[in-house]
Amino acid sequence: MPIRRRDLLKGTAGIAASLGLPRLARGAETASIYDIERFGNARILHLTDTHAQLNPVYFREPSVNIGIGEMAGRPPHLVGHAFLERFGIRPDSADAYAFTSVEFEKSAGRFGKLGGFAHLKTLIDRLRGDAGEKRTMLVDGGDLWQGTGLANIMQGRDMVEVANLLGIEAMTGHWEFTYGEQVLRDNLEHFKGEFLAQNVFLTEEAAFNDAPAFDKATGRVFKPSIIREIGGHRVAIIGQAFPYVPIAHPKRFTPDWTFGIREEELQKHVDSLRGSDKVDAVILLSHNGMDVDLKLASRVTGIDVILGGHTHDAVPQPIAVKNAGGTTLVTNAGSNGKFLGVLDLALDKGKVGDVKYHLLPVYSELLKPDPAMAELIGRLRAPFVTDWLEKIATPDRLLYRRDNFAGPVDDLICSALRTELDAEIALSPGFRWGVTALSGQPLTMEDVLAETAITYPETYVQEMTGAQIKDVLEDICDNLFNADPYYQQGGDMVRAGGLSYTCSPTNAIGSRIAELKLANGKALSAVRHYKVAGWASVNGQQGAPVWDVVGKYLRSGRMFQERLGTGVTLKGVDGNPGIAG
């Protein structure tokens, strides 16, 4: 295994003295890529969208992440070599492996897994130590409590314990809400940090019925922000939860709450922090998604930096956005614990003098796991993990999810749904979480859960006409490719099994999807009824949880049902740098 470490060091900074260290010496405290030059007087460390991945993971970044309109060709809608060129990253380097899909399988063997909370703990403690006492803060952008079988069965409580040991001081949320209000509140009782959300309000009915809220006057359910003294200056952190929770997920989880981007309320709050509280810096801890954040930054004034998440975009450098009040920097810090954002600020009275930002890949081979965190993770997993370690299949190809239209993980889920539920067509949601599995490596139930563990996993079979199917595809496609980011929800396209179609992302809703065909090549009829299987419906369903359906299918020795490939032919986006060449 020292080969991996050698490759890592070559690929990045390359210290000769570290070459050939035995396995036990991995994670030597001197891994130089984490030596960051001292800058400024305040350091904010940003994690986001870890999706409860306690241990290091493989995660292949997308090879298709198309931006259209103003978003075409600009970060985060760059993939592959276009991404490497934009950010000056060498194609065969460890960073190329961390940030893109370029030669993923080859590099996975060289550079190993990324992330893991014991490794993060080591890195975070070190970066805090480097900056000095009372000069740092650790924040989390949400999607911390969901994404694994363990988080699902413990309803996020495992991650609260991990967050407390890690020292997360403030967070906001998205999937956290899908455990429902009671679990959310119980978990927050145990969370030592603050849960912030300026954009979650009581519905009028709930306010009328005197439902609990942080601030009855405004109807705000949660504290919108906190002010911390960091490096001798006052820094405000505002939380921005995912704006579309009751739309993207079953409304039954949050019946009393209403969300939204809430630009106007945000502007008022920023103005109040600056005017009344005289803070020196305003940071928005956002789960909007990067395109939404970029638009928001052009319209809301007075925010210095938006630390963004949700869309899982690993963007190495902040994007500067001008607005009527000055400039706001926008970041997005990737997913699954692969990256740690490091925002160094030179604060002055009432303003941010200068900023340096690093998005550090968390190379597990270079970081010694923190013993206390490793012990906690082991203890949390122990009661459940033996049930999940049974090897149920060995894939003959790389399994990944992240891409705009399809990926082998979802091909597999759709194959399982169609076979086990005897359906002509399967639909599977375009989630962006879910880890990558290497070809030839056995899959366990824990791996299946890492792709499927949600609080509404029930499968369904229903009859739909061809016209209804097309409408669903059009509707979801508009969530990705609406020219106005405020109308995007941040997921990827619903995955279709047993169905192929063409998609013209630059067209308007209603005219993007065409040439729909069944697996047998026959054209989909608008009026005929088809048997459609799926899961993760926003309407209540009664079928078996999807992980059981997929597990049963894999145990039967089957894998992929038909031809590989997306089944989606793109039109009108030739040369878009959001498609890997």
- Which residue, among 332, 336, 244, has the nearest Cα to 49 in the 3D structure? 336
DSSP secondary structure string for all residues of 278-326? --SEEEEEE-S-HHHHHHHHHHS-S-SEEEE-SS--B-SSPEEEEETTE
121 binds another protein (CB under 8 A): no
Write down the least CB distance from residue 217 to another protein, Å.
5
**Angle, nearest 10°, between helix axes 263-275 and 290-299?**
60
The stretch near another protein (CB under 8 A) out of 33-41, 61-69, 93-101, 308-316 is 308-316
Q: Give the distance, in angstroms, between the CA of residue 221 and the centroid of all CA atoms in the same chain.
A: 24
CA-atom Rg of the chain in angstroms: 23
The reply on whether position 487 binds another protein by CB under 8 A is yes
DSSP string across 370-408: PHHHHHHHHHHHHHHHHHH--EEE--SS-B---SSS--H
Q: For 169-262, where are the alpha helices, taking DSSP H only?
A: 180-190, 204-208, 245-248
Out of 272, 298, 323, 502, the only residue in the binding site for another protein (CB under 8 A) is 272
The whole-angstrom separation of Cα 436 and Cα 113 is 10
Candidate ranges 3-11, 78-86, 181-189, 482-490; the one touching another protein (CB under 8 A): 482-490
Cα-Cα end-to-end distance for the chain: 32
Candidate residues 253, 431, 481, 501; the one interacting with another protein per rule CB under 8 A: 431
Instruction: Indicate the DSSP class of residue 539.
Output: S
**Side chain identity at 177, as an amino acid letter?**
F
* One residue of 430, 497, 498, 567 binding another protein per CB under 8 A: 430
Q: Does 491 bind another protein (CB under 8 A)?
A: yes
Residue 204 or 387: the one with the smaller Cβ distance to another protein is: 204
Helix or strand or coil: residue 328?
strand
Tokens 């030596």 locate to: 35
Q: Which two tokens stand for residue 578?
A: 């959001």
Backbone dihedral angles phi then psi of residue 445, each to the nearest 5 degrees: -60, -30
Selected binder of another protein within 16, 22, 133, 276 (CB under 8 A): 276
Kindly state whether residue 310 participates in binding another protein, applying the rule CB under 8 A.
yes
Q: Identify which range of 59-67, 149-157, 406-414, 487-495 contacts another protein by CB under 8 A.
A: 487-495
* Residue 227 binds to another protein (criterion: CB under 8 A): yes
Contact with another protein (CB under 8 A) among 77, 249, 418, 470: 249
- For residue 201, the minimal CB distance to another protein (Å) is 8
DSSP state of 486: G
Verify cis geometry, omega within 30 degrees of 0, for the bond prior to 76: yes
Question: How near is the Cβ of 578 to another protein at its closest, in Å?
Answer: 16
By C-alpha distance, which of 371, 323, 367, 296 is closest to 126? 367
* Residue from the set 4, 233, 312, 512 that interacts with another protein by CB under 8 A: 312
Are residues 346 and 303 in contact, defined by beta-carbon separation less than 8 angstroms?
no
479 in contact with another protein (CB under 8 A) = yes
For residue 469, how many other CB atoms are within 10 A of its CB? 21
Site string for another protein, 129-168 (x = CB under 8 A): ----------------------------------------
Single residue of 33, 398, 494, 524 touching another protein by CB under 8 A: 494
**CA–centroid distance for 300 within its chain:** 24
Interface size with another protein, residues (CB under 8 A):
60
| Minimum CB distance to another protein, residue 250 (Å) | 8
Hey, what are 167's tokens? 């020292």
Q: Does 497 bind another protein (CB under 8 A)?
A: no
Residues 9-68 that bind another protein (CB under 8 A): none
Contact with another protein (CB under 8 A) among 536, 546, 550, 580: 536
Q: Of the candidates 35, 70, 85, 215, which one interacts with another protein according to CB under 8 A?
A: 215
CB of 422 to another protein, least distance (A): 23
The residues, ordered by sequence, that sit 6+ positions from 324 with a Cβ below 8 Å of its Cβ are 301
Alpha helices in 57-169 (DSSP H): 80-87, 94-99, 104-111, 117-131, 149-153, 157-166
User: What x-and-dash track marks residues 164-193 binding another protein by CB under 8 A?
Assistant: ----------x-------------------
Binding to another protein (CB under 8 A): which residues in 538-567?
Answer: 538
Minimum Å gap between C-beta 563 and another protein is 24
Pick the piece of the chain touching another protein (CB under 8 A) from 70-78, 80-88, 183-191, 310-318: 310-318
Q: Which residues make beta-bridge pairs with 240?
A: 286
CB under 8 A: which stretch of 67-75, 236-244, 342-350, 357-365 binds another protein?
A: 236-244
Contact footprint for another protein (CB under 8 A):
174, 204, 214-215, 217-220, 223-227, 236, 242, 244-249, 251, 258-261, 264, 269, 272-273, 276-277, 289, 310-312, 429-433, 471-472, 475-476, 478-479, 482, 484, 486-487, 489-492, 494, 509, 536-538
